[in-house]
């Protein structure tokens, strides 16, 4: 029988964003039944935000093991690190998951511009996490890759934050194969789907219409599909993107492999704008995140919604539990 899960650890995000507010709102929503989590650092800003929201003051704890006892009365907050509170929170959170003190990491949004101003040397949040865990072994393909998840739909992106022209130019059969492998392995390990079914979205209208509307489906996607099927991966495609996301189509696959950012995010956000979760595939630790930004324009006003963070916390616990059962 698997051991009880350790608490999750939540990063602070940007102190001047909505991270502190939604962390407290997520705690208020989850305090009766969990999942239990602690925030890595930021006691002062969380205390100020709690007063704004008329919520109990957070409780300082020494380590994640104390989170269970504190959670029903106050948001547990771990000691802060030195330097940038945003980066210190990420580093401390990763360290606690690496050691087994926490079962998974849920990251609040950060501003890339703010990080770059501090000399941040990575393209983004996810690449930094990959760096911090690069010496740890992974089960299966090493990522990272981005999955967006809402009830009824999971999409996994081959290219992410690139201009559309560059994203199309950078597509290769190898990138598609790697992304599909990551999705397939994650569905088995993290979502307990024994025989995952994937669908590969086409790039062009009507998935190229036999080459009359573009050759990418023939020259790039078809070789990837052939290789994946030879590896025993159940993957359909290339599927015309305009018929891939309606209710009946979604019943035929467990995740859709999408070729560029908006192809994967538009259907997810249409289905559940406030509740989407970003899951990082191919890391040796569990990592989820709300599917939105820092929203600094509304920070400190008490109006931010915590739906996506709550969903991210719940999904992180689900994934951590599933990984524990497959060890």
- Binding-site members are 125-126, 161, 206, 261, 269, 278, 287
Binding site for a divalent metal cation: what residues are annotated? Answer: 161, 206, 261
DSSP E strand stretches across 19-139: 37-40, 59-60, 76-78, 105-106
Alpha helices (H) in 172-272, listed in sequence order: 173-189, 216, 222-230, 247-250, 261-271
Q: Which of 173, 170, 168, 246 is nearest to 203 (CA)?
A: 168
Task: Give 298's DSSP letter.
Answer: T
Binding site for substrate: what residues are annotated? Answer: 125-126, 269, 278, 287
In sign, the C-alpha dihedral spanning 299, 303, 305, 310 is positive
Burial 270-285 (b: 16+ CB within 10 A, else e): ebbeebbbbbbbbbbb
For residues 155 and 186, the answer to whether their CB atoms sit within 8 Å is: no
Q: Which of 151, 162, 147, 141 is nearest to 274 (CA)?
A: 151
Q: Nearest-5° angle of CA 307, CA 309, CA 315? A: 105
In angstroms, the CA 291 to CA 288 distance is 9
């Amino acid at each position: 029988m698997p051991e009880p899960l350790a608490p999750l650890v939540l990063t602070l995000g940007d102190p001047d964003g909505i991270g502190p507010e939604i962390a407290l709102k997520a705690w208020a929503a989850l305090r009766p039944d969990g999942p239990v989590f602690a925030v890595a650092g930021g006691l002062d800003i969380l205390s100020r935000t709690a007063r704004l929201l008329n919520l109990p003051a957070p409780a300082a704890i020494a380590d994640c093991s104390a989170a269970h006892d504190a959670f029903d009365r106050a948001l547990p907050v771990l000691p802060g690190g030195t330097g940038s509170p945003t980066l210190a929170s990420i580093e401390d959170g990763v360290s606690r998951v690496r050691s087994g003190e926490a079962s998974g990491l849920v990251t609040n949004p950060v501003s890339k511009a703010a990080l770059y101003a501090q000399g941040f040397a990575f393209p983004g949040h996810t690449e930094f996490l990959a760096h911090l865990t690069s010496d740890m072994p992974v089960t299966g393909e090493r990522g990272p890759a981005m999955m967006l998840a809402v009830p009824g739909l999971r999409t996994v992106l081959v290219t992410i934050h690139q201009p559309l022209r560059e994203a199309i130019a950078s597509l290769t059969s190898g990138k598609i194969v790697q992304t599909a492998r990551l999705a397939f392995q994650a569905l088995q390990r993290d979502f307990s789907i024994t025989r995952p079914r994937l669908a590969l979205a086409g790039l062009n209208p009507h998935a190229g219409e036999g080459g009359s509307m573009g050759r990418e489906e023939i020259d790039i996607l078809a070789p990837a599909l052939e290789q994946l099927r030879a590896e025993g991966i159940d993957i359909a495609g290339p599927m015309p993107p305009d018929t891939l996301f309606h209710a009946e189509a979604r019943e035929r696959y467990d995740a859709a492999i999408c070729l560029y950012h908006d192809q994967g995010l538009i259907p997810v956000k249409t289905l559940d704008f406030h509740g989407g979760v970003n899951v990082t595939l191919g890391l040796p630790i569990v990592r989820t995140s709300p599917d939105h930004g820092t929203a600094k324009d509304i920070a400190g006003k008490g109006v931010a919604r915590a739906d996506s963070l709550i969903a991210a916390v719940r999904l992180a616990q689900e994934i951590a539990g599933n990984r524990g059962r497959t060890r």
